[in-house]
Amino acid sequence: MGEGDAGRFPFATAAVIGLGLIGGSVARDLTAAGVRVLGADLDRNALRQAVASGAVHLPLNDDLTGLEEAEVVLVAVPVSRARSVFEKIAPQSRRASLVTDAGSTKAEVMCAADAVGLGRQFVGGHPLAGDHRAGWEASRRGLFAGQTAYLCPGDADPAAVALARALWEGLGAHVSEVEAEVHDRRLAWTSHVPQLLSTSLARALEAQGIAPDDLGAGGRSMTRLAGSDPEMWAGIIGQNPGPISEALGGIETVIQRLRTAIEAGDEAAIRGILEEGKSWSSQSGD
C-alpha cells in the first residue's frame, strides 16, 4: 500500500467514531491513501493525538457537527456502547452511503442498528485484528493486511455491502460474508472462549501466588490475553452469552476427560488427546 494511493477507496470522505486500536488503525490507513477522515472519540487526548499524527483531518465535537459530510461512517467502539452511538449518529448520517461497525459480536449490534433506523445503509463488520492491546497508542498502519474481515449484510442495500467490501479490501483484509448468528457462534469458539480461558488461567495462577514473571514462554503465551480490556470484553460476553456458554461447556468436557485419564494413569488416552491437538495444529497453512 503506497502513500497517497488515491482511488484505492471509492469514497472521498469517511468518519471514524472511536479511535482505538481498530478505529485508529483504519484512520491511519485511510488518510495515507488520500481519504479525508473525520474522527471522534470520547477520550479528548486520543482525538488530539490522532489529529496531531495526521490520521484525522477534522475532529468532531460531541454533537458530531460535520458528520453529514461523510460518505462512509465506521463505528469502532466497544459493543456495549454501539447502540447509544448508533442513536446519536443516525440523524446526521442519513446521506451516508454506508454506516458500518467493527464490533466482535454481530446479532445484537445488527438489531440495534435496525432499531435506531439506520436501515439499509447499515452493514455489520468485524475485522479479526484485535489482540490484548487497546487504544489509540496501539493503532498502526497495515493492521488489517492479510487478516479476515467478516461482513454481515443482513438486509442492507447491495451498494452499501459493496462499499463495505471495498473498505476492508482496500485496507488489505480478506472479506468473508456471513450471517450474524453464524458469526457469533463461530467467534464464541475462535475468540471469546480463548479470551476466557486465558483469563481463567490468570485468575487461577493469582490464587496460587504465581506471578507472570514466574512463567516460561508457553505459560506467557497462554496468559497474554488476560491483559485485555475488561470493559470491552464484558460487553462482548454480555452480547453473546448463549454461544459462549455452550463453547465453555465443550471445553470443560475435554478438560474433564483429560483429568480423568490423568487420574486413572491412562497414558494411551492422554497421548491420544495430545496427538489430536498436534494433528489439528498441523493443519495450519502457516
Chain residues 252-271 in contact with a second copy, contact rule CB under 8 A? 252-256, 258-259, 262-263, 265, 267, 270-271
Only one of the segments 24-32, 33-41, 159-167, 199-207 lies at the binding site for a second copy (rule: CB under 8 A); that segment is 199-207
The amino acid occupying position 89 is: I
Residues in CB range of 40: below 8 A, 6 or more apart = 15, 16, 17, 18, 19, 47, 59, 60, 64, 67
Rounded to whole angstroms, the Cα distance separating 70 from 99 reads 10
Residue 177 touching a second copy (CB under 8 A): no
| Beta carbon nearer to a second copy, 60 or 244 | 244
Helix (H) or strand (E) holding 54: none
Residue 155 touching a second copy (CB under 8 A): no
Rounded to whole angstroms, the Cα distance separating 284 from 194 reads 17
The amino acid occupying position 143 is: L
Minimum separation from the CB atom of position 207 to a second copy (A): 7
| Beta carbon nearer to a second copy, 153 or 243 | 243
Binders of a second copy in range 224-253 (CB under 8 A) = 224-231, 233-234, 237-238, 241, 244-245, 247-253
Binders of a second copy in range 92-151 (CB under 8 A) = 128-132, 147-148
Residue 223 touching a second copy (CB under 8 A): yes
The amino acid occupying position 34 is: G
In the block, cell 463505528 appears at: 75
Rounded to whole angstroms, the Cα distance separating 106 from 179 reads 9
Only one of the segments 56-64, 92-100, 151-159, 213-221 lies at the binding site for a second copy (rule: CB under 8 A); that segment is 213-221
